[in-house]
């Protein structure tokens, strides 16, 4: 069964999720992993040249969530760059050379301000709602919480392997210089943009709103009265560990505060699929003048070589 067609808007907000292969803990938090992940994320945003804006993020041991604004189909190239570099660089850190991601990422439209705040709350609740830590601030992985409660910009290091490759064999390159040596590290800044519904608020008001969301989730977790694993135990797990059970749930069409908005999104998607399939049928028959819906990608056409007579 093929993947559902991905529909992008001219511009819009998306809640993005990507899970590691078999749910393994390949993103297990550590100082080195957090630095590399932050550098890759910052570099991906920089490479997007303003077509992707980051509003929130959290990296768990086996998946990550992003809340972003993107223009057109820019999210596709952004995610390709992000996931490819994470798999190479984090894979090197945790000694993993196989498939890094379980499947393609999900990107669900977020349709209104209430839903945006709800998705931010979901991001900030990570670690607490799963019973891994008591407080959101205790989560040892990379999260946007420090930037939402402090300076919105944070410096990371991007390890430029292209630069390292260009200097291979050079007498200036020290023997045994590793891929994560300071020689290849370049500072890169990661900025978290405020939600559009909070742009008119002062810094203190925005931070108060964030703390309110965090405190509500921590209170819900405490009410469950379940034991907490703890940050040290999270970091002690082996990154190749495969969980016995994984949480599986259907991907929603989108996130909205009203059922009417979701119905309209569903109708829009049905029209998009119908238009895409009609254009794809023409395209596959060799009619390359077929008009595809905006911000979609035509299917690949493989050339067929004529069979040679024996």
Q: pLDDT, tens digit, for every residue of 105-141?
A: 999 999 999 999 999 999 999 999 999 999 999 999 9
pLDDT at residue 169 is higher than 80:
no
Lowest mean pLDDT among 137-151, 221-235, 295-309: 295-309
Q: Rounded to whole angstroms, how far apart are CA atoms 256 and 71?
A: 19
pLDDT value at residue 181: 86
pLDDT value at residue 199: 87
Question: Is 301:283 a contact under the CB 8 Å cutoff?
Answer: yes
Q: What are the structural domain ranges in the chain?
A: 11-257, 258-299
Q: Rounded to whole angstroms, how far apart are CA atoms 303 and 27?
A: 40
pLDDT value at residue 228: 92
Q: Rounded to whole angstroms, how far apart are CA atoms 216 and 26?
A: 30
Q: pLDDT, tens digit, for every residue of 218-264?
A: 999 999 888 899 999 999 999 999 998 877 778 899 999 999 999 99
Mean pLDDT of the chain: 91
pLDDT at residue 206 is higher than 90:
yes
Question: Is 246:23 a contact under the CB 8 Å cutoff?
Answer: yes
pLDDT value at residue 175: 45
Lowest mean pLDDT among 74-83, 116-125, 292-301: 292-301
Average pLDDT, integer, range 13-20: 97
| Residue 309 pLDDT class (50, 70, 90 cuts) | low
pLDDT value at residue 1: 43
pLDDT value at residue 307: 47
pLDDT value at residue 221: 92
Q: Which residue has the higher pLDDT, 305 or 126?
A: 126
pTM: 0.91
Architecture of the 11-257 domain? 2-Layer Sandwich (3.30)
Lowest mean pLDDT among 115-124, 206-215, 258-267, 286-295: 286-295
Three-state SS letters, 4-42: CCCCCCCEEEEEEEEEEHHHCCCCCCCHHHHHHHHHHHH
Average pLDDT, integer, range 81-107: 94
Q: pLDDT, tens digit, for every residue of 57-72?
A: 999 999 999 999 999 9
Which candidate, 214, 231, 43, places its Cα nearest to that of 123? 214
For 227-233, which contacts have Cβ atoms below 8 Å and span 24 or more sequence positions?
A: 227/131, 228/131, 228/132, 228/133, 228/134, 229/131, 229/132, 229/133, 230/132, 230/133, 231/132, 231/133, 231/138, 231/139, 231/140
Taking residue 251's Cβ as centre, other Cβ atoms within 10 Å add up to 10
DSSP the chain: -PPPPP---SEEEEEEEEEBGGG--TT---HHHHHHHHHHHHHHHHHTTTSEEEEEEEE-SSEEEEEEEEETTHHHHHHHHHHHHHHHHHHHHTT--S--BSSPPEEEEE-SHHHHHHHHHHHHTTTTTTTS-SSGGG--S-BSHHHHSS-SEEEEEEE-HHHHHHTTT-TTSPTT--TT-GGGEEEEEEE-PPPGGGTTS-HHHHHHHHHHHHHHHHHHHHHHT-----HHHHHHS-TT---S-----PPPS-B-SSHHHHHHHHHHHHHHHHHHHHHHHHHHTT-TT--PPTT--PPP----PPPPP-
Distance of CA 30 to the CA centre of its chain: 18
């Amino acid at each position: 069964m093929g993947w559902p067609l991905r529909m992008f808007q001219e511009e819009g907000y998306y809640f993005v999720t990507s899970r590691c292969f078999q749910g393994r803990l390949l993103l297990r938090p550590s100082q080195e992993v957090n630095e590399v992940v932050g550098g890759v994320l910052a570099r991906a945003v920089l490479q997007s040249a303003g077509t992707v804006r980051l509003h929130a993020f959290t990296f768990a041991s086996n998946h990550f969530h992003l809340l972003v604004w993107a223009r057109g189909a820019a999210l596709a190239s952004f995610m390709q760059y992000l996931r490819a570099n994470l798999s190479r660089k984090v894979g090197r850190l945790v000694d993993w050379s196989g498939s890094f991601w379980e499947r393609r990422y999900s990107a669900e439209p977020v349709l209104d301000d209430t839903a945006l705040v709800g998705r931010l709350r979901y991001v900030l609740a990570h670690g607490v709602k799963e019973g891994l830590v008591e407080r959101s601030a205790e989560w040892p992985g990379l999260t946007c919480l420090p930037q939402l409660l402090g300076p919105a910009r944070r410096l990371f290091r991007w390890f430029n392997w292209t630069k390292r490759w260009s200097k291979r064999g050079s007498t200036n390159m020290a023997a045994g210089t590793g891929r994560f040596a300071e020689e290849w590290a370049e500072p890169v800044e990661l900025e978290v943009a405020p939600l559009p519904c909070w742009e008119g608020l002062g810094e203190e008001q925005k931070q108060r709103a964030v703390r309110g969301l965090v405190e509500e989730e921590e209170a819900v977790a405490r009410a469950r009265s379940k034991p907490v694993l703890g940050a040290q135990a999270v970091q002690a797990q082996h990154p190749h560990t495969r969980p016995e059970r994984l949480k599986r749930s259907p991907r929603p069409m989108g996130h909205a505060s009203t059922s009417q908005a979701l119905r309209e999104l569903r109708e829009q998607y049905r029209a998009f699929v119908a238009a895409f399939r009609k254009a794809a049928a023409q395209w596959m028959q060799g009619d390359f003048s077929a008009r595809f819906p905006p911000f979609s990608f035509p299917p690949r056409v493989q050339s067929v070589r004529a069979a040679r007579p024996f």
